[in-house]
Amino acid sequence: MESGTDPRLPTLLGITLRRSMVVGRMSLVIGGGMVVFYSALFGIAGPLFVSVGTVILPVFAVSGGIGGALVFTNDRTKGVLEYLVAYGISPRRILANALIAGIVQVTIILGVGLAAGLTAYLLSGNALTSTLPEILLGYTFPMSYLSVTLMTTIGVFWTSLSSPRSGLNSPLGVLPLIGVLPTTLLMIVAIALGAEASRVLLVGELVVFVLLASLLARTDRFMPTERLLSPA
Amino acid sequence: MLGGSSTALPSAPRDGPVSVSCRALHSGYAKTPVLRDISFTIDEPSVYVVLGPNGAGKTTLFRTIAGILRPTAGAVLIDGVPIDQQTSRDRLHYLSHMDGMPDGLTVRECLDFYARVERASTADVERVLDQLEIREFRDTFISKLSAGQRKRASIARVFLREREIYLLDEPTANLDPKVAREIRTLILNLSRNRIVLYSSHNLFEAREIGRHVIALKGGALTLFERMENVRAAHYVIGIRTLPLSPAPEGWERSGDYYLRELSGPGAVPGLIHELESQGVRLREVREMENPLEDLFT
């Protein structure tokens, strides 16, 4: 029963996205607020926005993208996943929806944050350079997406394999810490190494990608249908 | 009364009687086998009450028939087609013992959510809002509802679209007696031309709604029988007498009642005649045990 969803069934992506915004609104506001604040701060500081600000942004952006994992955990506890599986929605589809919800939230946070940062940067009399889009497209966006996808995947698998519980003792309680770990470590190492920073960031992205791909390849094992059921 | 209107469920295509077959079914969870060698076939539209003590495997049976749990051996077939085929899934409704109402949505939005899953229409959502009498709190968030309101909203989902088989796991749990009775009436109406598997811990409810009994114990099928053929191992009747009536001879006193074990319901008229000949003035005669209780021992 771990096979894919029948193509005639709805994807439920739209409503999952909407629910992730509602359920994860607090983390979205806090994460978004921090990204806007630091982005604007670095924008005013000028060149630091390009060299440091763009590397820091993923740390805060990821912490606001927990909505997909929240929806999954709530749905499991409330017995919603049990219905979806009974109607033929596959665990893979459920996971995909959670991952996309996290990515969309991070996109919103980064979009708003970068708009604020760039505005501050330009209003402070700084000129745009080719380095900025290179870093944004080469690190800020891909690393944010990789990190939020890794965080959501770990959250979904961990929730699936553990008994329902709440608070800091639950997977969700520590999930934001897991999410920001790769970006924070990379940021510290990159800043410490200075000249080798771009290479460190690239290698770091590759490591996260490989880790994520190896986890997703084991979806059926870490997310068996029976682990999506509500407590009997 | 719920469903008091004459609104009908949208029709599903139906060529003839559908059948549900469990063939040498073994099922359970990764480290815990639950069901053992369950075999039965249902092909008559009716309410089949699934009974058994806690841990007997009722929920596991429902989940396996619904295609949520994969059998470790044997098969579940809907009209001969394995349940893991989407065509089989499309023929049944499953209502778990959990509400299954998503967080962060109102009642109306929840029903819209399930209408999408069910491929039902907006008109169907409007219909069930009236049918289950939940229109008044359609804009209320699920988290703000009482347990009974949540259950009604949850059950409404089952009526969004007509299917041929209904698996209802304790549908009236947490409902007050009036609403529970109304839900049972809806389900009885449904079962006129549909197969309904219904689990309950309420034996009197089971007797009221069930036309067949499926009993489980320790994961094994112990009984599959028409309700009228289920007899108590010990048939006990109780009588209450009018004030100043002489006490009946040879009866055991228990509270307000005098108890006596009989061979079966057929022995009751003769016994009443005997009591009357003793001058005992009867106020009430009743069966003291529900024969379904024996299925729990």
Whether B222 and B242 map to the same domain: the answer is no
- DSSP annotation of B45: -
Q: Which sign does the torsion angle of CA B176, B182, B186, B188 carry?
A: positive
Label residue B297 by pLDDT band (50, 70, 90).
low
- Is A10 within 8 Å of chain B by CB? yes
CA B136, CA A41: separation in Å to the nearest integer? 50
The reported pTM is 0.80
In percent, the amount of chain A with pLDDT more than 90 equals: 52
- What is the predicted pLDDT for the residue at B16? 58
Highest-confidence range of B209-218, B233-242, B249-258, by mean pLDDT?
A: B209-218
Cβ distance B86 to A1 less than 8 Å, yes or no, reads no
Whether B248 and B172 map to the same domain: the answer is no
Count Cα neighbours of B245 within 13 Å in the Cβ-side half-sphere: 19
Cβ distance B100 to A22 less than 8 Å, yes or no, reads no
Read off the pLDDT of each residue in A116-131 and give the average, rounded to a whole number: 91
Residue at which a domain ends, from B184, B212, B229: B229
Whether B151 and B117 map to the same domain: the answer is yes
Nearest to A56 by CA among A38, A31, A33: A38
Q: Is the pLDDT of residue B90 over 90?
A: no
Whether B86 is in a domain gets the answer yes
Contact A122, A175 (CB under 8 A): no
Interface test mutation site (partner A, options B96, B125, B155, max chain A beta carbons within 10 A): B96
Nearest to B215 by CA among B224, B205, B204: B224
Whether B46 is in a domain gets the answer yes
- What is the predicted pLDDT for the residue at B193? 86
Whether B157 and B241 map to the same domain: the answer is no
Domain residue limits at B159: 20-229
Side chain identity at residue B290, one-letter code? N
Whether B251 and B219 map to the same domain: the answer is no
Residue B232: count of CB within 10 angstroms of its CB: 17
Whether B71 and B205 map to the same domain: the answer is yes
Residue at which a domain ends, from B229, B262, B288: B229
- What is the predicted pLDDT for the residue at B49? 93
Contact B114, B41 (CB under 8 A): no
Could you tell me the residue ranges of all domains in chain A?
A: 17-228
- What is the predicted pLDDT for the residue at A164? 64
Q: Which sign does the torsion angle of CA B250, B254, B258, B262 carry?
A: negative
Residue B234 dihedral angles phi and psi, to the nearest 5° = -125, 115
- DSSP annotation of B106: B
Rg (CA), chain A: 19
Whether B13 is in a domain gets the answer no
Name chain A contacts of B102, Cβ cutoff 8 Å: 19, 71, 74-75, 78, 80
Write the pLDDT tens digit of every residue in A109-118. Answer: 999 999 999 9
Whether B5 is in a domain gets the answer no
- What is the predicted pLDDT for the residue at A3? 54
CA B261, CA B236: separation in Å to the nearest integer? 4
Read off the pLDDT of each residue in A128-135 and give the average, rounded to a whole number: 88
Q: Which of A46-60, A104-118, A138-152 has the lowest mean pLDDT?
A: A46-60
Whether B94 and B189 map to the same domain: the answer is yes
Contact A67, A21 (CB under 8 A): yes
- Is B58 within 8 Å of chain A by CB? no
Whether B8 is in a domain gets the answer no
Whether B167 is in a domain gets the answer yes
Name chain B contacts of A82, Cβ cutoff 8 Å: 63, 68, 94, 96, 98, 100
Count of CB pairs separated by less than 8 Å, A with B:
90
Whether B169 and B259 map to the same domain: the answer is no
Whether B171 and B202 map to the same domain: the answer is yes
Whether B50 and B150 map to the same domain: the answer is yes
Whether B11 is in a domain gets the answer no
Cβ distance B103 to A225 less than 8 Å, yes or no, reads no
Write the pLDDT tens digit of every residue in B129-150. Answer: 998 889 999 999 988 988 788 8
The CATH number given to whatever domain includes residue B87 is 3.40.50.300
Read off the pLDDT of each residue in A135-163 and give the average, rounded to a whole number: 92
Which two tokens mark B186?
């809806």
Whether B101 and B121 map to the same domain: the answer is yes
Element holding B37 (H helix, E strand)? strand B32-42
Cα A214 to the chain's mean position, in Å?
Answer: 17
Distance, in angstroms, between A189 CA and closest chain B CA? 40
Write the pLDDT tens digit of every residue in B18-77. Answer: 899 999 999 998 878 999 999 999 999 999 999 988 889 999 999 999 999 999 999 999
Query: In total, how many domains does chain B have?
Result: 2
Write the pLDDT tens digit of every residue in B183-227. Answer: 888 888 888 889 999 998 877 788 888 899 999 999 999 989 888
Residue at which a domain ends, from B212, B229, B246: B229
- What is the predicted pLDDT for the residue at B8? 39
Whether B30 and B80 map to the same domain: the answer is yes
Whether B33 is in a domain gets the answer yes
